[in-house]
Each structure stands twice: as C-alpha cells, then as structure tokens.
C-alpha cells in the first residue's frame, strides 16, 4: 500500500482521497483554505455527495487533512493534483492553482510521481515537466490520470470505473500509477500525456454534444408533432449509439461541462482551429435554458406579476452544486420579465446566486398560488408533483416539465396543463380554476 498526498480538498480531491483510503492506501489531503481543512479535521464535509461521508468516516485512521504541504508530500509516493481549473475571462482554463501546488512542494527524496487529476488543457503536462526540470526536480515523475467522476455518483464511479486513463512520460511512472489502481476492475488505457489530457476533454465534449443534439431533436419534435422520449429510446437501442446522455431537457450545467467546453474551444482556437461543432453545442445549450420562458408565455401571456415556482435548483439531482445551474439563467430571465419567482431544492442553498428569488422550504409552499410549476432539476420528490393537493393550491394548474420526468397523460388526467421538452403540450382552457378562498381572489 502507498502513501498518497492529495493537493486540493475540493470535490475531486476529497472523493479521490477518500476512495484511495478505502482501497487501503494512506492518504493526506492538503488544502490552502483553513475554512475547508478545519471542518474536515472535525469530520464535517463541505458539500453533499452521497456515500462520501461514510467512506471518510470508515477510513479516518488512514485519511488526514492538513494545511501543510510538507505533511502531504513528505515521504509520499504519489502527489495527486486535484485543484480547480476554472475558466478565465478569455475562456481558457486558469492553471494558477496548479502552479501554486508546484510552488508549495517541499524538498522531496526518492521518485514520487506527480499525478495530474485536475482537468487541464493539452500541453499542460509538458509545461509542468519543464517547470519541474527547471527547478532541479528531474527526479519527480509525472503522469496524467484524469477523473471521470460524476457528481451524485462519484464514489461508485471511482470504485467501478469504465476505464482508467494513464499517460506518462516515463513508462515506469505509468506502471506505478497503474499498480495503485490494481484492485479496481477496469480497462486501463495507457497513452502519452497529451492524449490522456485530450481523452478527458473529448469525453466531456462528446457527452455535451449528445445532450445538445437530443435537445435540438426535441425542439424539432415540438414543431412536427413527435415525442423526443420515444425518439431517444428508439435511437439509443442502436448498439452503435447507446442510450446514455440522450435525455432532452433544459440544458446542461455544472462545474465541469461549461468550463471544459470553453477550455477545449479556446485550446483549439489558440492552436489555429475553429471548433465549429463545439461552438454550436455551447450555443444550443445557452438557448435551451431560455426555452422555458417562451413555454410559459405561450400559456400565461405576459409574465409580469405571474408567480412561477422553480422546482430543483442544483444543476442536477443528488448534489447541492449550483455552479452553472440552468436555474440561475432561468430565474434571471423570469425576473427580468417581471415574474415573481419562488425556488425550492431539497439540498442546494443558492444564496446570492438566485438573488430576488424567494426560497421555499417545501414544494407545497413553492407552488402555492403559483401560475406555473417548472421542474428544473429532476429530484425524486418531484415525481409525485401532479397531485390533487398541488393542483388545488395553484392559481393556474400549469406544469412545465423541464426534465420530462412526468407522464404527460397522467398529469393531464390530474387536471393540469402540461408542457414538456420535445413532446406534445396541452392547453389550459380545459381546466376550470379551483374555487378555494386562497386562490379565488387572485383570478
Ligand atoms: C460530468 C461527466 O459526466 C463526468 O464524466 C466528468 O468526470 C465530470 O463532468 C467532470 O468533468 O468532472 P457531472 O458534471 O457531475 O459529470 O454531471 P453529469 O451527470 O454529466 O450532468 C451534467 C449536466 O448534463 C447536468 O446539468 C445534467 O442535467 C445534464 N444532462 C445529462 C442532460 O441534460 N441530459 C442528459 O442526458 C445527461
């Protein structure tokens, strides 16, 4: 078993460190932020990720947290870089945290391998290698070992990966990173460093392409009278295409896709190539987030003074992550139209990101006297949305299902007007307004 120093106690660093500890390795996770490390030392996780708290708790004896780089790096055989690589104003990846890790490295004996887990532009490994050499650290190995973890299923993704990608300058360094994963059953992809870096970017770009593709098919389905759910099922059963990432909706968000798309687009253009397809994927996604507004206008007319409940605020279910969540764009569009916006999410706490939105503690509270309930994120709790209680409490019984999670016929039978994404909609006119005192005055 090895000693592993992890640099970065964010989501990737914590999941990676906890899972390596679960595999039996000794792990020290280092971060520069006291407000992150101190709670971790007390056993508090800074975000919500299913199963992570249990894995951390189970492995307390071989998983520690520190502010001191020497404690993490000293006698470690592997130095995992798990820091953020956010977008800069130019859309490129900001590598300043990666360079800080290099600056913070103490004197090291032996041949530890610096392993890049963070998502970085192709060519970063070459630059880091040169920087290490220039500092007299030729004896430190280097490998790229990108992460393919999804929020909400990260522990399972680490323990049961589809593949493990390892790119190294020296084959012996790659062999050692491979050994680190030997108890995991997964195909190992060995490549040069640049290709490993590109595998990560290309995989994310392809997943986004599938989402924007099915969203455009959905938009055409609406115009020509087809149902995108049936289309996606029929398309996905072709073994050459597969069923994944064909869920039409109101667009992708999150801490990875938008920034990685931008970084790959800039990487291509900085290298003299205009990546047309990726540019279109990004644009389709931006427009998709706004389509709900037109759907609301179609049913409700002008949105000024209308009350809209946004249900699910995190960028996807089973996470509290609000980064680049479609709910942020949608809320600000609705507020700009003069709508009164309420929001509900079982775990996310949007704070300033949803300034002007009234946050409700329950779904019932969010939809009370509302003119529309919009499913933005497909939390399980929302599958029972079309109930008589909800219908009677709404001012206008309209559900806009931004994730196609409800059965349109059942929703209509329950007395709601229904709008999905890429499926037939139904008008409001069939639905008499309930006559309860709470709703009668607002007609
Ligand atoms: C994504 C990738 O799936 C991971 O493989 C990758 O490791 C990770 O980025 C990363 O680079 O770190 P994640 O952002 O956690 O993971 O979430 P996804 O499940 O991929 O969902 C991303 C967005 O796409 C969400 O907003 C989701 O609602 C949307 N989506 C996903 C769709 O709109 N349709 C789909 O069919 C699938």
Q: What string of pLDDT tens digits covers the 443 residues of the chain? A: 999 999 999 999 999 999 999 999 999 999 999 999 999 999 999 888 999 999 999 999 999 999 999 999 999 999 999 999 988 888 888 999 999 999 999 999 899 999 999 999 999 999 999 999 999 999 999 999 999 999 999 999 999 999 999 999 999 999 999 999 999 999 999 999 999 999 999 999 999 999 999 999 999 999 999 999 999 999 999 999 999 999 999 999 999 999 999 999 999 999 999 999 999 999 999 999 999 999 999 999 999 999 999 999 999 999 999 999 999 999 999 999 999 999 999 999 999 999 999 999 999 999 999 999 999 999 999 999 999 999 999 999 999 999 999 999 999 999 999 999 999 877 665 555 544 444 433 33
Q: Nearest to residue 7, comparing CAs of 91, 121, 93, 112? A: 112
What distance in angstroms lies between residue 428's CA and the mean position of ligand 1's atoms? 34
Does the active-site annotation cover 256? yes
Query: Strand ranges (DSSP E) for 17-161?
Result: 26-30, 63-66, 78-81, 113-116, 141-144
The answer to whether the CB of 150 is under 6 A from ligand 1 is yes
DSSP letters for 302-315? --TT-EEEEE--SS
pTM of the full structure: 0.93
Residue 213 CB–ligand 1 contact under 6 Å: no
Residue of 49, 121, 149 to test ligand 1 pocket, by largest number of atoms within 8 Å of CB = 149
Give me the residues paired with residue 374 across strands: 310, 400
Q: Whose CA is nearest to atom 37 of ligand 1?
A: 245
Neighbours of 220 (CB within 10 A): 12
433 class by beta-carbon count within 10 Å (0-12 exposed, 13-18 middle, 19+ buried): middle
Distance 52 CA to ligand 1 centre (A): 19
For residue 253, report the distance from its CA to the centre of ligand 1, in Å: 7
Atom of ligand 1 nearest to the CA of 154: 15
Q: Compute, in angstroms, the gap from residue 417 CA to the centroid of ligand 1.
A: 30
Q: Which atom of ligand 1 is nearest to the CA of 378?
A: 28
């Amino acid at each position: 078993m090895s000693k592993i120093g992890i640099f970065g106690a964010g989501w990737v660093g914590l999941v990676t460190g906890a899972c390596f500890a679960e595999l039996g390795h000794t792990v020290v996770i280092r971060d520069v932020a006291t407000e992150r490390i101190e709670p971790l030392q007390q056993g508090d996780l800074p975000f919500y990720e299913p199963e992570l708290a249990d894995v951390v708790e189970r492995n307390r004896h071989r998983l520690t947290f520190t502010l001191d780089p020497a404690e993490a790096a000293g006698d470690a055989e592997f130095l995992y870089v798990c820091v953020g690589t956010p977008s800069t104003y130019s859309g490129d990846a900001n590598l300043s945290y990666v360079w800080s890790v290099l600056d913070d490295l103490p004197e090291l004996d032996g041949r530890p391998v610096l392993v890049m887990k963070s998502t970085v532009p192709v060519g970063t490994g070459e630059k880091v290698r040169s920087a290490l050499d220039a500092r007299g650290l030729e004896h430190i190995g280097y490998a790229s070992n990108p992460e393919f973890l999804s929020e909400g299923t990260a522990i399972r993704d680490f323990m049961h990966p589809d593949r493990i990608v390892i790119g190294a300058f020296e084959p012996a360094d790659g062999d050692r990173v491979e050994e680190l994963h030997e108890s995991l059953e997964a195909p190992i992809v060995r490549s040069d460093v640049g290709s490993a870096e590109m595998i990560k970017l290309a995989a994310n770009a392809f997943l986004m392409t599938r989402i924007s593709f099915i969203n455009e098919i959905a938009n055409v389905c609406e115009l020509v009278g087809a149902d995108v759910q049936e289309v996606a099922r029929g398309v996905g059963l072709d073994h050459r295409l597969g069923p994944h990432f064909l869920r039409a909706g109101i667009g992708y968000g999150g801490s990875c896709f938008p920034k990685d798309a931008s970084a790959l687009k800039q990487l291509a253009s900085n290298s003299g190539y205009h990546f047309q397809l990726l540019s279109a994927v990004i644009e389709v996604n931006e427009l998709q987030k706004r389509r709900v507004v037109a759907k609301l206008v179609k049913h409700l007319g002008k949105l000024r003074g209308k009350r809209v409940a946004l249900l699910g605020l995190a960028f996807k279910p089973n996470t509290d992550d609000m980064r680049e969540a479609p709910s942020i764009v949608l809320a600000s569009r609705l507020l700009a139209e003069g709508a009164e916006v309420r929001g509900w999410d079982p775990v996310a706490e949007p704070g300033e990101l949803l300034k002007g939105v009234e946050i409700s503690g329950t779904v019932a509270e969010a939809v009370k006297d509302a003119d529309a309930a919009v499913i933005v994120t497909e939390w399980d709790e929302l599958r029972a949305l079309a109930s008589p209680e909800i219908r009677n409490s709404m001012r206008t019984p309209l559900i806009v299902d931004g994730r196609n999670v409800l059965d349109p016929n059942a929703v209509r039978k329950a007395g709601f007007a229904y709008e999905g994404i890429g499926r037939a909609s139904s008008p409001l006119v069939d639905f008499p307004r309930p006559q309860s005192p709470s709703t009668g005055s607002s007609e």
